[in-house]
Amino acid sequence: MINKIESLKAEIAALTASSAAEAEQLRIKYLSKKGEVTQLFTEFKTLPAEQKRELGARLNELKNFATERINTLKEAAGDNVADADLIDLSRTPAPMPLGTRHPITLVRDKIVSIFSRLGFTIAEGPEIEDDWHVFSSLNFAADHPARDMQDTFFINRTPDVLLRTHTSSVQTRVMEHTQPPIRIICPGRVYRNEAISARAHCFFHQVEALYVDENVSFADLRQTLLYFAREMFGPQTEIRLRPSYFPFTEPSAEMDISCNLCGGKGCSFCKHTGWVEILGCGMVDPNVLEACGIDSKRYSGFALGMGVERITNLKYQVKDLRMFSENDVRFLEEFTAAR
């Protein structure tokens, strides 16, 4: 018996296993009910008492040695990912957290999709611009305050390089190279030299729309605006146009929609007027058409521009503009349902 114990010990010390399944086979071979080590215990019971005293300790030692050795082999082989036996392919995987779309993206896409149903196609322009595309071509007077350093980020003065303050610059970019009919929608980021607060930011997003063709009238503009407002805010929405001034449109207007929070009855959001302002618009000034090489006697057009943050605030009541650029996951996750 003593020889058997010693030879088994040597045998077990030399064992190897290339997979956890192989190590399990070894455990069965040596330590299961009919395993070789277990068999020795059965034999042990038949031995006379004085031999039992001597061999009992050695036999227990062998069992512990075998258990430890096989466990070590199992652990070492456990990392072996090739061991398909151990991967339960039928198990439900841990859920994968899905990201959410940024609210500005959601609203921008919605605006673009509403206008694309009317035949508008997307046009884009650079964020780093020059004076001509942002101001001069759009009929801004040489001393217009928008050109001021307090409002505009200048990268260079001569030659003038600046960050666009509005997406109206894309109008010029397109009209310079395209003859009517033109029907474009221009989403993009714009920059203004503002102190950052809950109500103002140094960058935000706008969507510009431009339609130039023969016989485009103010009625076309109004109908387009009504369609947009109802698609965006619901069929009960009413619009109103107030006279305004922009250098690049004549006449110019600002559009209000009936407050979608109180239904026009008056609340703190609409300052108890029942209306909230959402965009600027007007008939393209003939000077702008001419500056871009379009015959203003033959063609007319309308243009409109809106702030995406403003529309998003109206839809989702985001109180602080800074939330849009802080990337706080708790804020972004609130838009899961809109995904």
- Which residues are CB-contacts of 56 (< 8 A; sequence separation ≥ 6)? 44
For residue 168, the minimal CB distance to ligand DAH (Å) is: 4
Strand pairing of 203-213 and 300-307?
A: antiparallel
Q: Any bridge partners for residue 198, and if so which?
A: none
- Chain positions 199 to 218 lying near ligand DAH, rule: CB under 6 A, are 208
Our CB check for ligand DAH shows the closer of 253 and 323 to be 253
Report CA-CA distances (Å) from 214 to 149, 253, 297.
Answer: 38, 21, 9
For ligand DAH, the closer of residues 100 and 169 by Cβ is 169
Q: Identify the residue among 191, 246, 299, 324 touching ligand DAH (CB under 6 A).
A: 246
- The partner residues of 255 in beta bridges, in order of sequence, read 241, 279
Question: How far is the first Cα of the chain from the last one, in angstroms, to the nearest whole number?
Answer: 74
Which residue, among 51, 67, 69, has the nearest Cα to 2 in the 3D structure?
Answer: 51
**Residues in 119-178 at the binding interface with ligand DAH, rule: CB under 6 A:** 166, 168
Least Cβ distance, residue 250 to ligand DAH (angstroms):
10
From 1-9, 75-83, 150-158, 278-286, span contacting ligand DAH (CB under 6 A): 278-286
Total binding residues for ligand DAH by CB under 6 A?
Answer: 11
Task: Tell the smallest beta-carbon distance from residue 146 to ligand DAH (Å).
Answer: 9
Query: What distance lies between CA 296 and its chain's CA centroid?
Result: 42
d(Cα 190, Cα 264) in Å, to the nearest integer? Answer: 31
User: What is the tally of helices (H) and strands (E) in the chain?
Assistant: 11, 10
- For ligand DAH, the closer of residues 151 and 214 by Cβ is 151
Asked whether the beta carbons of 148 and 115 are under 8 A apart, the reply is no
Burial class (CB in 10 A: 0-12, 13-18, 19+), 80: middle
* Residue nearer to ligand DAH on the CB measure, 210 or 318: 210
Q: Which of 180, 187, 280, 301 binds ligand DAH (CB under 6 A)?
A: 280
- Residue number closest to ligand DAH, CB atom: 305
Binding to ligand DAH in span 293-332, by CB under 6 A: 303-305
Closer residue to ligand DAH, CB minimum distance, 37 or 279: 279
| Largest distance between two CA atoms of the chain | 124
CA distances in angstroms from 194 to 107, 160, 188, 191, 197, listed in the order given: 23, 20, 18, 9, 9
168 vs 224 by CB, closer to ligand DAH: 168
CA 178 to chain centre: 33
Closest distance between ligand DAH and the C-beta of residue 208, in Å? 5
CA distance 46 to 19: 37
Residues 285 and 296: their CA atoms lie apart, in Å, by 9
What mask of x and - would describe binding to ligand DAH in positions 83 to 112, judged by CB under 6 A?
------------------------------
Is 180 a residue that touches ligand DAH (CB under 6 A)?
no
State the sign of the Cα–Cα–Cα–Cα dihedral 121, 112, 193, 276.
positive
Would you say 130 or 208 has its CB closer to ligand DAH?
A: 208
Judged by CB, which is closer to ligand DAH: 180, or 305? 305
* Residue among 282, 299, 314, 323 that touches ligand DAH (CB under 6 A): 282
Beta strands across the sheet bearing 161-163: 128-129, 161-163, 154-156
The smaller minimum CB distance to ligand DAH, of residues 20 and 170, is found at 170
- We find the least distance from the C-beta atom of residue 254 to ligand DAH, in angstroms, to be 8
Instruction: For the CB of residue 97, give the shortest distance to ligand DAH in the complex, in Å.
Output: 38
Residue numbers of the site for ligand DAH (CB under 6 A)? 166, 168, 208, 246, 249, 280-282, 303-305
